[in-house]
Chain A
């Protein structure tokens, strides 16, 4: 490999492929550890619900074939992998004969358009706030830090519940849930978009405030370390203007925060999924919530798979960006050191 940066990317790619395979294997093996097997569990459940026996028979054969439970484990595994790469995620139990890929395909745009802006804007605002309060010190710092500490410790869904109750149910300022008004059909009309945005505000707000708090605390800490470092003292003694020094400090403290962004995508996921179900937002979180309640294993597996893929992709993109930005990595890659 001639190009060092390509080597860096290749190394990262192989790393993520490994993580992907571990995750997919867990996704394959864990639901198969359910006592009995998932198919008989669900069919029994339906039998008590009074479904006719010939329908049960058909359901049973469909799922036995899909899961391939009559074949040896390693063949099941290869079938599973092949199906994933063909984007064939099986059939939902609860919405039989709905396809899992269609259900997820409908939910995913909602989740992405809620979470990506919430995480990114929370990250940017939080970093600015953290750096500023570290530099400013005094009253501003202690108020901002305490507020950040409070907000970052409220779990997303707790803030979501409080917002939903106070602002939507109690004072009626916002809709009480859903992604758009009941009876509307998702189209690209202005009316629909405005309606969707109106439903968007509360879920967004409850996520972004917590994210800002968490990032601000991290950034403040990094900036405090930088502010007491030798180069800052040296620069001050040289008489360099404050704004200049802050820019150095900000850039240096920022680097670890980029890794923090990658972490956010993974750690925020759980809370974000629950936030969606609090607001009945039509995303993957609400889908997962219903799937778990109905023991819909294929749908649960589909959701966990798509969450894994989304988080790994986001992390990968951030790491590549980090490689570009961090002068140390760049220097090593270009052989300057």
Chain B
């Protein structure tokens, strides 16, 4: 474990992503504590440009953009993390059971997975969001998570199938482990790094899906998120009236968050797959 950490911090991409992500995380978590304002409170004129009083100006209703940005980033991270955890959990469960069990169970589970890979997830997301009227941030994360698992399931199944043929599996089987014990003790630990990378991917995908849904007008209720901020900008024509402070900050926050996660992911990929490393 310690060796892995040393290796990870030798990867420049990982460090860049990690530091950037820590920065965003502390902005979103510590910011609201130091600056406890209500992001929905109207404090100034409409679309007033950045000034000493409002670092990032105000939006169409005279609300402080900087405050919105802190709370919005926090909501987006919460939704992304919830979605990532749920998608990874479902994906790993289905993938490892299918891969380890094989036979008819594998056929059925992978059949379901493939059907849900084929159907564009945005369609299911839109329909689910419409059906659920009270969408809190956590509910949204849940909805995104239960549409995002198929890729993870497919990848984990492939990994499990190849791990299954190793010798330590045969030895463990002789000692009389049940299938569940086999998967938990003998399979999953060997692909821990892989699962963690899948989680990072799902995390970033969750944030993006939140933004997409929110921009279409299906965001969380009574909460500000990065996507909701962009939705307001579209709805109230902030872009065409030139109020850049209302939409450029969430755009930068969103892009930096996904970039930091992806950068960590590629860094890990280089560490765990030595073939990608150039000597």
Which A positions have Cβ atoms within 8 angstroms of B?
A: 15-16, 18-19, 22-23, 26-27, 30-31, 33-35, 137, 149-150, 152-155, 157-158, 161-162, 164-165, 169-170, 176-177, 217, 221, 224-225, 228, 265-267, 269-271, 273-274, 277-278, 288-289, 292-293, 297, 300, 304, 307-308, 311-312, 315
Find the B residue at minimum CB distance from A263. B117
Q: A158-B251, A300-B126 are in contact. Are A22 and B115 (CB under 8 A)?
A: yes
Residues on the B chain within 8 Å of A278, using CB: 234, 239
Contact A149 B124 (CB under 8 A): no
Contact A292 B266 (CB under 8 A): no
Q: How distant is the Cα of A300 from the Cα of B213 in the complex, in angstroms?
A: 13
Contact of A22 among B119, B209, B244 (CB under 8 A): B119
Q: How distant is the Cα of A92 from the Cα of B126 in the complex, in angstroms?
A: 18
- For the complex, is B258 an interface residue (Cβ under 8 Å from A)? yes
Contact of A289 among B114, B124, B217, B266 (CB under 8 A): B217
Chain B positions 115 through 145: 1 when the CB is less than 8 Å from some CB of chain A, otherwise 0: 1111111111111101101000000000000
Find the B residue at minimum CB distance from A316. B118
Min CB distance B51 to A, Å, is 20
Contact B123 A155 (CB under 8 A): no
Residues on the A chain within 8 Å of B233, using CB: 161
Contact B133 A158 (CB under 8 A): no
Q: A35-B133, A149-B266, A155-B211 are in contact. Are A269 and B122 (CB under 8 A)?
A: yes
Count: A-B pairs, CB below 8 Å: 149
Q: How distant is the Cα of A6 from the Cα of B214 in the complex, in angstroms?
A: 44
Contact B128 A30 (CB under 8 A): yes
Contact B242 A165 (CB under 8 A): yes
Find the B residue at minimum CB distance from A227. B275
- For the complex, is B184 an interface residue (Cβ under 8 Å from A)? no
- The binding surface of chain B is classed by DSSP as helix
Q: How distant is the Cα of A270 from the Cα of B124 in the complex, in angstroms?
A: 11
Find the B residue at minimum CB distance from A285. B216
- The binding surface of chain A is classed by DSSP as helix
Q: How distant is the Cα of A27 from the Cα of B125 in the complex, in angstroms?
A: 11
Identify 15 new A-B residue pairs, CB closer than 8 A, beyond the known A165-B244, A165-B248, A221-B276.
A23-B123, A30-B127, A30-B131, A33-B131, A34-B131, A153-B259, A155-B212, A158-B255, A266-B117, A270-B125, A277-B215, A289-B216, A292-B218, A304-B126, A311-B119
- For the complex, is B2 an interface residue (Cβ under 8 Å from A)? no
Contact of B118 among A137, A149, A221, A312 (CB under 8 A): A312
Which residues, 196 to 220 on B, are CB-close (under 8 Å) to A?
Answer: 204, 208-209, 211-213, 215-218
Q: How distant is the Cα of A184 from the Cα of B279 in the complex, in angstroms?
A: 59
Residues on the A chain within 8 Å of B212, using CB: 155, 157, 270-271, 273-274
Residues on the A chain within 8 Å of B266, using CB: 149, 217
Min CB distance A89 to B, Å, is 15
